[in-house]
Structure 1
Amino acid sequence: MSDDLRALESWAGALLAKLQPAQRRAINHKVAIDLRRSQAQRIKSQQAPDGAAYVARKKRKELRGKCGRIKRQKAEMFSKIRTTRYLKVKATGDLIEVGFVSRVARVARVHQFGESDRVPPHGSAYEYPVRRLLGFSETDEILIRQSLLKNLSENPLF
């Protein structure tokens, strides 16, 4: 896949080289927003970039027996982490970045690489399974191409 990314980079680089720096930055920002939206939708569907489902959460022990049991809706993993408040974009004339910020970046890193972390701040350590939150898939490469072409066609220079 890295060869495909290099081919995409050289193809897009030739098109973007004809633009002014401010135009490049504006187009890169629009492409980054489209990519962020794609990543957030994939996180919502609980899938890794390769299409595999995330490892399910560990089952919680029921605090109460069947009598008086509290019924809850099934909560999604990473429901807040995928919002624009935490999943940020950075676009300049030369690069596009999509990533997490603040303390959420630490939580995302633990899940992305399957690291060990303390469940409550001073509690026991837990080895989290690998859940790839961010990454490129073939559909993301197609999305980048389409978004780039759409935004270039809207540019009056072309």
Structure 2
Amino acid sequence: MQPNQTSQIDVDGKILDGCDFEEMQCRKRDAFSVHVEHVPQEGGDDPAYGTVRWRTLMGGEQRETPEFVFGIAEYGPEGLLPAHRHSSAEFYFGLSGSGVVTVDGVAHPISEGIAIYIPGDAEHSVNASAEGLRFAYGFAESCFDNIVYRFSDNAT
């Protein structure tokens, strides 16, 4: 195995050295870093997504990653993300401000230093407090575009 390759195990238990599961082609994986301010902010203007704004730092159009998606979500005072579901599990990690994340009807306070795990297909929403809210989020997906959001009208 070359230094820039990793061993992966496919669904049949075979070891694939340095190969992409989907393409089954060997490729080099380079490390990278990215500053949050160098990634365009999205959201905030689509009523379906509420008032949340986000920057996908890894696993978005700017920086693709084969294993996960990672980004920062920001809410102004009393901001919200309506109830929705997606098949991928997700996590939130509070960075600043505070709010409530409701998962399958159970309210979970979020603020600096609090991590929340959201199982795949769990209905969840976010409501920021009067001070706003900022948290890191992540999915076990290769690309943010692969995550299909199903909002309250069709969340079930």
Instruction: Please state which band the TM-score falls in when normalised by the shorter chain.
Output: under 0.3
Question: What is the TM-score with the length of structure 2 in the denominator?
Answer: 0.26
Q: Which has the higher strand share?
A: 2
CA radius of gyration, larger in: 1
Which structure carries more relative contact order (alpha carbon 8 Å, separation 6+)?
A: 1
Question: What is the TM-score with the length of structure 1 in the denominator?
Answer: 0.25
